[in-house]
Amino acid sequence: MTQTASVIRLENVEHRFGLRKVFQNISMTVTSGQTGIIMGANGAGKSTLLKIVAGLLPPTTGKVHIEVNGVALDAAGKRKQIGYVAPDLTLYRELTGAENLEFFANLRGITLTHEDLKNLLTRVGLRGRGRDLAGTYSSGMRQRLKYAFALLGDPAILLLDEPTANLDVHGIAIVEEILDTHLKQPGRVAIVATNEPREEGWGSVTVRLGQTD
């Protein structure tokens, strides 16, 4: 189904680990066709905030509202409509690249045809490598495979944590093409967590997190 409108809204989000306050009073609204940018130094809480947006971690206080086609997403809706790329996303080294994609697709209730697999691997620059074990992939190839995972089911929302980590110039160009193509489709949004000035330029809306002691 074609998405016609999406919105991600953060309202006064705060998070603590025990007594340590990671960030507070974070508000941001990202709507269709936009990329939200979460900037901050290492340890400022970028990954934590992105996990809160994805529904993987609850905020200590504040609210996150995600809506697609006028419908607020529950946990099941987020699993269907969010594509997520992050450094701590685990791939199975003992499976091939294609087997990893098939495994994660099955978990999300998605059936992949041979053509689907070929198209996904081609899009992320891994055509011809789908039968290779993920354990033999370079760090850059594993990062590309994570993008293929994120694109499963053609989600309305992309959440990208350190999106170009371990990628060469060609890999970075692939990520930029993926993001550009995604946002040109109706009802698509993205949020990128980064400390790279180049990637800040991808955004329409930016929040900055301060380094905590």
pLDDT in tens, 66-84: 999 889 999 989 989 999 9
Check residue 210 and give its pLDDT. Answer: 81
Backbone CA torsion sign across 126, 194, 181, 2: positive
The model's confidence at residue 108, banded by pLDDT at 50, 70 and 90, is confident
The model's confidence at residue 88, banded by pLDDT at 50, 70 and 90, is confident
| pTM for the predicted model, two decimal places | 0.93
Check residue 186 and give its pLDDT. Answer: 94
**Average pLDDT for residues 33-52, to the nearest whole number?**
95
56 CB-near residues (< 8 Å, 6+ apart): none
Pairing of strands 205-209, 35-40: parallel
Tell me which of 3.40.50.300, 3.40.50.800, 3.40.50.1820, 3.40.50.970 is the CATH number of domain 6-209. 3.40.50.300
Distances (CA, A) of 164 to 23, 80, 106, 117: 24, 24, 27, 22
Helix (H) or strand (E) run with residue 98 in it? helix 97-107
The one-character DSSP state at 96 is B
Q: What is the pLDDT of residues 3-16, one digit of tens each?
A: 578 999 999 999 99
**Average pLDDT for residues 133-156, to the nearest whole number?**
96
**Average pLDDT for residues 98-117, to the nearest whole number?**
93
Q: What is the pLDDT of residues 14-39, one digit of tens each?
A: 999 888 999 999 999 999 999 999 99
Domain ranges of the chain: 6-209
